[in-house]
Chain A
Amino acid sequence: MSRFRPAAPEGARLSARALRDGAEAHARKRDGLWPWLFVLPLLAGIGLFYLWPILQTFYFSFTEWGVFGGSTWTGIDNYVRLVSDPELYVALGNTLLYTGIVLLGIPIAVWLASLLNTPGLRFASFYRVLFFLPYIAMPTAIAMVWRIIFNGDFGIVNYLLSLLGIDGPYWVSTPGVAIVAVAIVGLWSSLGFSMIVLGAGLKNISPEYYEASELDGASPWRQFVSITVPLLTPSIFFVTIITVISSFQLFDLLYAILGSQNPILPKSFSLVYLFYQAGFVTNEKGYAAAIAMVIFVLIGFVTLLQFRFQKKWVSVD
């Protein structure tokens, strides 16, 4: 860094730093509550709309609700029931399967993002818009289009499969297959966001590395494996965290593609769908709160694990 900046005389630099540090320490003392006052609007919002509801939900998860409000304390009953509810495990399995499949989109996004980052690529912005479109489209609209694409008798997927001599399944109405179908759509629609983030990460990799490796005779593939991917790991890490969290919250896509009347819905539940069903369909709000807490803790735990393991593979330069 200092290479591009004219070095200041040593003495001047030292005194400047002393001055700055002193001023900061002084400012901290003198400001008192003032800084807090400025962030108060934000903190109040977060407290009122995030922290307080979380605490309330935690409390409600130990209660049973009447349909029109009024709760009674039932201790850990909701959790006992939840642990012995086979639907929880079905939902958990489906959510994990969905998350697993959607995560496969990240290597694809890395590959696509670096293709788009190829120097001198024509229409690069056009491609970027193309890949980003699904991200800004309404999930319901996406779901309706994919429902038609997946139609067992008249859908284009099964038509293409039939050209290959494969008899395609009823995608959205066969247990086990439906969650895969939804995950394919989830993967497809998450590509745009991942690519934008990864694209920004790619721009931060200094071209010097590529120039140097080229002089050493590295192939594009070698550059990709040894330079692009390692230096992109912070972005990949970020995208992974975001993807896992949003995948655990799978609801709208599932609900819209399968439809609320779908007979295989009970076998294709996600965790959040289970929560929705308890809270808003069968009117068991206390139980729904317990499910919400389980989702909350699960996401927190998985994210914590990811932060733990990031040291092993995320390079910080």
Chain B
Amino acid sequence: MTHSPRIRRTPRWAAALAAGVGLSVAIAGCSSGSDGPDQAGGYTPPAKDLTAEITYAFWDATQQDAIEANIAGFNEEYPNITVNLDVTPWEGYWAKVQTQATSDSLPDLFWLNGPNFQLYASNGKVEPITAQVDAGLIDPADYPESLVDLYNLDGTQYGVPKDFDTIGLWYNKQIFEEAGVDTPTADWKWADLTAAAQTISDKLSDQGIYGVAGGMDGQTTYYNTIFQAGGEVVSADGKSSGYDSDADRAGLSFWSDLIASGASPSMPQLTDAPADQWFTSGKLGMFYGGSWARAAIGDSVVKDVVDVAPLPAGEEKATVIHGVSNVVAANSKNKQAAQALQIYLAGKEAQTQQGDLGAIIPAFTGTQSAFAESYPGVNLQVFLDATEYAKPLPVSKNSAAWNAVEAKVLPDVFSGATDVDAATTDLATQMTALLAKE
């Protein structure tokens, strides 16, 4: 496992000073604790001179500058709260956090994502924000509704999104011109995409160029088409799988048909090089990519010839939306300080800063203009407008269990090696059984 670099945000002299200021501060901290958030009823923010040292854990090192700027702002409000940043790369993050949760030593404030949220919430590992919402310090209406719901379990809210991402149709204008096909518009339907992809693959096959590509990443590909077909992956009550419905089958067949017709590279080809690599090396006309792909595409050889359009509609328009949330550990020893930071990070000031400095779209409505303008010539507004018809990433209490079944069954569906009806029935049965165990 990778080492996690620990960064002390606040200089040591601050901690020393805090200790030196002495007993009065500590007493003040304690007394404000007695009418703090643990009391039944309302939430009262802690005193501004609260002294505490807390840890904030996350996985994305590219956001560290923005987070450090956030914490500098937070320390203007709470100068005596020391925030230690704990960055663990994605590959090791979940194993680490799960171990910490098992031994009741979770970081005071940490990032949680959709697939893992219910697991931690249902096991009482994270603290609800109900009181803070009641006190008007966090207003869920400020964030995309579908994402707020992602961090709600059985009517209790545990966090609000700190950022979000949606999926769009990235396309290579040069390839469209060479193939003599009109570029995608906001009115495109599935048939338009299929036809364009087919033409590109047919006309430019001698250069090894394909029209569009699927793959095994549900968030950017088949979850979107399932939603567009009117289907669902997990039922609203979280008890059953939707994979055996006609709509889901249509959403999956969309990709297997593209592979069968040669409009998309084959599954083995997409394993050797995934869709994003095909696109960034100029071998793919269209790419179902997230808003986060902006960075990789902006660094690639195709950076000057790309644009982005909304995903083509099936029965309806849809895109997957996801975003991480800052949550407070239920057994944090400095819960007041952690909650104060949680509230601060959810606020407009911190969110605007995230948008200006970070690589992400901040979740607070009205703070996203910096993102939209960050790639001149590319219509990134598409990703923001997509929130109107976005659906949250399908999750449950133990998402990883059925994600593993998807990874087992779906490759053969996409490659055409098995019958879609039989395979999806099998997938739905296994998945529903796993959901029942949760």
Contact = CB atoms under 8 A, between A and B. Distances in A.
Contacts of B185: none
Contact of B400 (A69, A151, A153, A283): A283
23 contacts: A67-B98, A67-B119, A68-B98, A68-B123, A69-B103, A151-B273, A152-B268, A152-B269, A152-B272, A153-B208, A173-B267, A173-B269, A173-B271, A173-B272, A263-B407, A263-B414, A263-B415, A266-B407, A266-B408, A277-B404, A282-B398, A282-B401, A283-B98
A197 interface: no
A263 to B, nearest CB: 3
Most A CB within 10 A of own CB, among B208, B271, B398, B407: B271
A66 interface: yes
Query: Interface majority SS on B: helix, strand, loop or mixed?
Result: helix
B398 A67 contact: yes
Interface string A99-129: 0000000000000000000000000000000
Nearest to B409: A266
A68 B398 CA distance: 12
B119 A170 contact: no
A280 interface: yes
A277 B408 CA distance: 12
Contacts, number: 65
Please give me the 10 A-B residue pairs with the lowest Cβ-Cβ distance, nearest first: A263-B411, A173-B271, A170-B268, A173-B268, A266-B408, A69-B102, A282-B401, A68-B102, A151-B272, A68-B101
Interface string A264-305: 111000000000010011111000000000000000000000
A170 B266 CA distance: 11
B255 to A, nearest CB: 12
B216 interface: yes
A202 B61 CA distance: 52
B272 A153 contact: yes
A264 B408 CA distance: 8
A172 B270 CA distance: 11
Chain A interface size band reads: 20 to 34
Nearest to A151: B272
Interface string A149-174: 00111000000000000000010111
Contacts of A283: 98, 398, 400-401
Contacts of B208: 153
Contact of A282 (B98, B123, B404): B404
A281 B119 contact: no
Nearest to A265: B407
Nearest to B414: A263
Contacts of A277: 404
B119 A263 contact: no
A261 B98 contact: no
B98 A172 contact: no
Nearest to A284: B401
Contacts of A284: 401
Interface string B97-141: 010011100000000000000010001010000000000000000
Contact of B217 (A68, A170, A261, A281): A261
A156 to B, nearest CB: 13
A277 B103 CA distance: 22
Contacts of B410: 263
Contacts of A259: 271
Interface of B: 95, 98, 101-103, 119, 123, 125, 208, 216-217, 267-269, 271-274, 398, 400-401, 404, 407-408, 410-411, 414-415
B415 to A, nearest CB: 8
A263 B404 contact: no
B400 to A, nearest CB: 5
A66 B269 contact: no
Contact of A281 (B271, B272, B404, B414): B404
Nearest to B404: A282
Given A68-B123, A277-B404, A264 B411 contact: yes
A152 B101 CA distance: 43
Given A152-B269, A281-B400, A261 B95 contact: no
A60 B400 CA distance: 21
A72 interface: no
Contacts of B125: 68
Interface in A230-281: 259, 261-266, 277, 280-281
A77 to B, nearest CB: 13
Nearest to B217: A261
B281 to A, nearest CB: 11
Nearest to A66: B123
**In the complex, which of the residues B95, B400, B410 has the most CB atoms of chain A within 10 Å of its own CB atom?**
B400
Given A68-B123, A69-B102, A264-B411, A282 B400 contact: yes
Interface string A133-153: 000000000000000000111
In this complex, which of B125, B398, B401, B407 has the most chain A Cβ atoms within 10 angstroms of its Cβ? B407
Given A153-B208, A172-B272, A174-B268, 5 more contacts: A151-B272, A153-B269, A259-B271, A280-B95, A281-B400
Contacts of A68: 98, 101-102, 123, 125
A243 B383 CA distance: 53
A198 B119 CA distance: 52
> Which of B208, B411, B414, B415 has the most C-beta atoms of chain A within 10 angstroms of its own C-beta?
B411
A81 to B, nearest CB: 13
Contacts of B407: 263, 265-266
